[in-house]
């Protein structure tokens, strides 16, 4: 089974900076003709602020001739419970109405694919706890299928034992719960976006993949991280083995966020920590 993972498209009908990467990406997806496309979030530039961006994004995705599943990113539904755009009922209901449920299970062949909302991991809310219960149920009922998880945020940036990385990954306690799940349920793949960096590695028996964004890369305005600053997508082949090919796609442009951040995210601080991936 072949799955194309795309991420961080950051589409908008009013701030059109990155929309031109869609046609070459869609053409490549058409050529590859996968069984499924999974979008790992930041579908829209500011879906957390205006539904126009989500409506526009879904019109673009609907042009694909293959099934598409998606999980939300921070630019789609907000981030955590504090900050300028917290995850809240209004934003979640907007996502559900225009895109679909933020958590899902999709069985295909002998694989169970699981998508969920990583933007509430570590916020110590009732919703986070309920999602952990849901997630363990989804993992424990796979009945022999192999398991792949799709989420917006990576579990860690530099190493699994690191401290809190703030905006970029998952806080320690929630990260540990996730890592315990990966081991206990022998999860084969955890695939994410958010960092606008392309990287692949392993955590025990689980393959970890950060898909390259389909919009922009981030230059010196953010701290250095592992991974390549490229735009593109990932072709996952799920069989007895998992292969994940990170692909730079002809015709896509690696726009540099540093050049346009004041136009695109005028409220964002121009320096580190709380930027805009």
Residues near Fe ion (CB under 5 A) are 8, 42, 73-74, 194, 277
**CB 108 → Fe ion: shortest distance, Å?**
26
| End-to-end alpha carbon distance in the chain | 30
Report d(CA 16, CA 169) in Å as an integer.
Answer: 27
Q: In the bound complex, what is the minimum distance in angstroms from residue 260's beta carbon to Fe ion?
A: 14
Name which of 43 and 188 has its Cβ closer to Fe ion. Answer: 43
- The residue (of 35 and 274) whose beta carbon lies closer to Fe ion is 274
Taking the least distance from each CB to Fe ion, the nearer of 8 and 46 is 8
Q: CB of 213: closest distance to Fe ion in angstroms? A: 6
In the complex, minimum distance from the CB of residue 195 to Fe ion, in angstroms, rounded to a whole number? 8
Q: Is residue 29 within 8 Å of residue 64, measured between CB atoms?
A: yes
37: number of CA atoms within 13 Å, CB side? 22
Round to whole Å and give the CA distance between 164 and 143: 34
Least Cβ distance, residue 29 to Fe ion (angstroms): 19
- How many CB atoms within 10 Å of residue 250? 9
Handedness of CA 222, 251, 21, 259 (dihedral sign): positive
Of residues 111 and 167, the one with the C-beta less far from Fe ion: 167
Torsion over CA: 138, 41, 228, 67 (sign): positive
For the record, the structure tokens of 40 come out as 């790992």
Nearest residue (CB) to Fe ion, 46 versus 139: 46
Order of all β-strands in the sheet with 146-150? 104-108, 111-115, 146-150, 189-192, 206-210, 199-203
b/e map of 163-188 (b: 16 or more CB within 10 Å)?
A: eebebbbbbbebbebbbebbeebebb
Q: Among residues 225 and 277, whose Cβ is nearest to Fe ion?
A: 277
CB nearer to Fe ion: give 74 or 131.
Answer: 74
Distance of closest approach, residue 143 Cβ to Fe ion, in angstroms = 33
Q: Shortest gap between Cβ of 76 and Fe ion (angstroms)?
A: 9
* CA geometry: angle 32, 42, 63, nearest 5 deg: 40
């Amino acid at each position: 089974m072949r799955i194309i993972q795309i991420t961080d498209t950051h589409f908008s009908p009013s701030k059109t900076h990155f929309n031109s990467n869609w046609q070459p990406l869609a053409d490549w997806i058409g050529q590859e003709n996968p069984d499924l496309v999974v979008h790992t979030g930041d579908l829209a530039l500011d879906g957390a602020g205006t539904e126009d961006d989500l409506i526009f994004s879904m019109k673009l995705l609907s042009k694909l001739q293959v099934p598409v599943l998606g999980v939300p990113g921070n630019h789609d539904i907000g981030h955590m419970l504090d900050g300028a755009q917290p995850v809240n009922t209004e934003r979640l209901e907007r996502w559900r109405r225009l895109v679909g449920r933020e958590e899902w299970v999709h069985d295909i062949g002998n694989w169970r694919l699981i998508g969920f909302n990583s933007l509430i991991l570590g916020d110590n809310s009732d919703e986070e706890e309920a999602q952990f219960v849901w997630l363990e149920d989804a993992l424990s009922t796979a009945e022999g299928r192999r398991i792949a998880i799709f989420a917006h945020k990576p579990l860690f940036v530099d190493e699994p034992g690191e401290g809190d990385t703030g905006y970029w990954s998952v806080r320690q306690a929630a990260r540990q719960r996730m890592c315990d799940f990966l081991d206990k349920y022998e999860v084969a793949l955890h695939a994410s976006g958010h960092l606008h960096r392309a990287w692949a590695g392993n955590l025990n028996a689980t393959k970890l993949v950060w898909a390259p964004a389909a919009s922009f890369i981030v230059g010196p305005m953010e701290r250095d991280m592992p991974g390549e600053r490229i735009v593109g997508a990932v072709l996952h082949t799920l069989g007895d083995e998992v292969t994940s090919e990170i692909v730079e796609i002809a015709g896509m442009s690696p726009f540099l966020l540093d050049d346009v951040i004041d136009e695109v995210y005028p409220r964002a601080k121009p320096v580190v920590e709380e930027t805009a991936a």
